[in-house]
Amino acid sequence: MKIVIVQDYEEMSRALADAVAEVVKSSQSPVLGLATGSTPVGAYKMLAEFFAQKKLSFQNVRTVNLDEYVGLGSDDEQSYVSFMRRNLFDLVDLQRQNTHLPNGLATDLQQECLRYRRVLQQNVQDLQILGLGTNGHIGFNEPNTPFDEQTHLVELSPNTIHDNARFFEDVSQVPTKAITMGIAEIMRAKKIVVVANGSNKARAVRDMVCGEISERCPASILQTHPDCTLIVDTLAAKLIL
């Protein structure tokens, strides 16, 4: 794993936005794997600025997102589809039909997982962006998820529900289930960039980078990916320095 240590959130966001822009420019129809959460927001803002300054077009870009909460749809501002519209899709020239997320409102969730597996087979990521859970999760692949898992339904861990409560009025409003891209489908990406900032991520960063490769820390599998870069600020890197 290549490790890039940066000073702060701004520098991390710039490095991620540049990595995305490079992939978008290098292919006729690039596929981006996208993450939600607070970590990539700054990079999405910069990508929207590149578009506004006519430095970058997303006209031919296809996107696949990592995950979606079960029970939330586009009319709920906490859904990941709303997050993506607000932070990127509505700010650039992405064609809506080229953007893909699991449908958290599907009546048959198992069928929805199978549908999303097929979407991912047809849209292999040139670049997958990953945030990192404080428990080492990637996507919503919680500790002890098999490394060979594809898109599946998950029961969110108490740790993740607690972490994500900051986006909701009350912890009781955090959905307890989600559909997530599996680790096998994350690892299929040609290139992976993981971003992490803040001291609350330091332990997970250490376990991901230096720990045993084990399903107890889902992100540790990234040590085996042929083209994975970690962009991390000094606070999140403090246990690997």
According to CB under 6 A, which residues from 107 to 136 bind ligand F6R?
131-133
Taking the complex as a whole, the smallest distance from the CB of residue 78 to ligand F6R amounts, in Å, to 12
Q: Is residue 79 within the footprint of ligand F6R (CB under 6 A)?
A: no
x/- contact string, 39-78, with ligand F6R (CB under 6 A)?
x--------------------------xx-----------
The answer to whether the CB of 220 falls within 8 A of the CB of 212 is yes
- The residue among 11 and 57 lying less far from ligand F6R, judged by its C-beta, is 11
**What does the CA dihedral 58, 60, 65, 71 come to, rounded to 10 degrees?**
90
Considering the candidates 68, 112, 126, 142, report the single residue annotated as catalytic. Answer: 142
Query: 137, 188, 191, 225: which one contacts ligand F6R (CB under 6 A)?
Result: 137
80 exposure class (CB count in 10 Å sphere: 0-12, 13-18, 19+): buried
x/- contact string, 198-217, with ligand F6R (CB under 6 A)?
--------------------
- The residue among 61 and 66 lying less far from ligand F6R, judged by its C-beta, is 66
Number of Cβ within 10 Å of residue 52's Cβ equals 11
Q: What are the φ/ψ torsions at residue 67 (nearest 5 degrees)?
A: -165, 170
For residue 93, give Cα distances in angstroms to 29, 57, 97.
14, 7, 12
Q: Which residues are catalytic?
A: 67, 135, 137, 142
